[in-house]
Amino acid sequence: MLTGVPQASAAGLGQVTGFGSNPGNLAMYSYTPSGLATGRPLVVALHGCTQTANDYYGNSGWAQLADRWGFAVVFPQTNSTNNPLSCFSWFDSAKDTRGKGEALSVKQMVDKAVALYGSDPSRVYVTGLSAGAGMAADLLADYPEVFAGGSIAAGLPAQCASTQSAASGCQNSGQNLTPAQWGDKVRASNPGWTGPWPRVAIWHGSSDTTVAPVNATELRDQWTNVWGIPQTASATQSLPGGTTLSVYNDSTGRPAVQLYSVSGMGHGLPVSPGSGTADCGRSGAYFLNTICSSYWTGLFWGLDGSTGGGTRLPAPGGLTVTGTTDTTASLSWNAVAGAASYTVYRGGAQVGTGTGITYTDTGLSAGTGYAWTVAAVDANGAVGTASSAVTATTTGSVFTPRCYTDTNYQQVSAGRAHQSGGYAYANGSNQNMGLWNLFVTHTLQETSAGYFVLADSGCPA
């Protein structure tokens, strides 16, 4: 057990027995805020290897958020009899598939919790860390009719491995499957189910050496394919802790899949101890002080009472391009009530933020068309609905690259190169072309006006 984590008490984490046949030999623990009303959401939170339900209760932040927003939390617990490291068996088809083993035990816990606490069966969510995240992904595939959403932290795609011997391959490297092949693993987990599908959050540290970050990409491919949406992000956003959020919207414009990449973070659950609105959790082994993933996941699911997916504020109206130059475009829009700031996107990628209702985008190419949208951000950092796109073309003409093959003497004479000390040098790049004479020949490519590079191996212009 992690040091510094408070022991469960009668008013805190409690064990629930008699929740079903329990073929997975799991223990059920739960936390419910005092005076919890019926009809509230339910979150299932699965610990990582070597951890316990009490560790996850004390460190993950889910109990804090349950108090704030009002929902029940179930903390399943496995044991060393099931696995020597107390890992959930996400890699064992006899334990992680629909109607079998640990997966069925968790489903029975959900049924018990819904009956005990009067939870809303349409708002049940599952989250986990590492092996718990791998099992969470399997559960989303096994029981899409049970879970409205999931969150997978430092985890793996659903049904990545079916034996323990294959598990290390999933953890350490990509499996070279197409998005459709990944999606097929989900569809095969519950044949005949055509949706609705759970909305999935994916969290991963860029420096994770236990579960390779490629798993986050494969999870993105898997669940966007299940949703039938592109693998290209609808929008990106910078969050605290060096976190980049990539959003993948469904056909209605609502986020269906969200990928959170935490720069420089190793293997663990992102938490952020503190007293701020977006803070929660405690740091410790495999609970890493970067950003409170539970808070941002809760916003995505709408546990705070919003519509979910961060769509808490309406789209700004009146987005207009007020002027362009060959390298800039100036934008303006109408203010949104309740907005603390605004995020500007070019071609779906975030390019700027600010508190005002104007923005000048810089570093553009001359004579090129661009599209922009803008979204309001509330005081909690939740991003609202993006505006309709506005397009414009920068001024100036588009430069067409050209290639010239000639002797060094003629390249200098034509103004494409210059000579110094008997050697020729390409203008712009200053690359050494050899002796300045009529016997050495080179091809130069003009990549921009007056800028030449050596292109002897083949000129793409």
Which active-site residues does the annotation give?
130
E strands, 281-412, where? 287-289, 320-324, 329-332, 341-346, 349-354, 358-361, 369-377, 390-393, 402-407
d(CA 432, CA 284): 56
Pairing between β-strand 390-393 and β-strand 349-354 as defined by DSSP bridges: unpaired
Kindly list the strands in the beta sheet with 27-31, ordered across the sheet, starting from the edge strand earlier in the chain: 14-16, 27-31, 72-77, 42-46, 124-129, 149-153, 199-205, 255-262, 243-249, 235-239
Residue type, 41: P
Handedness of CA 153, 158, 160, 164 (dihedral sign): positive
CA distance to 62, 293, 297, 377, 379, per residue, from 278 (Å)? 12, 9, 11, 14, 10
Non-local CB neighbours of 406 within 8 Å, separated by 6+ positions: 414, 441, 442
* Helix, strand or coil, per DSSP, at residue 196: coil
Contact status, residue 213 vs residue 206, Cβ threshold 8 Å: yes
DSSP 291-319: --HHHHHHHHHTTTSS-STT--SPPPP--
Pairing between β-strand 243-249 and β-strand 255-262 as defined by DSSP bridges: antiparallel
Q: Of 429, 431, 425, which Cα lies nearest the Cα of 451?
A: 429
Q: Of 313, 269, 314, 264, which Cα lies nearest the Cα of 295?
A: 269
- The tokens for 76 are 């399943």
The residue assigned the tokens 């008490």 is 9
Between CA 297 and CA 305, with CA 301 as vertex, the angle to 5 degrees is: 115
Q: Of 425, 427, 424, which Cα lies nearest the Cα of 451?
A: 427
Element (H, E) at 400: none
Report the 10 Å Cβ neighbour count for 347: 11
Distance of CA 214 to the CA centre of its chain: 12
Q: What is the DSSP letter of 171?
A: H
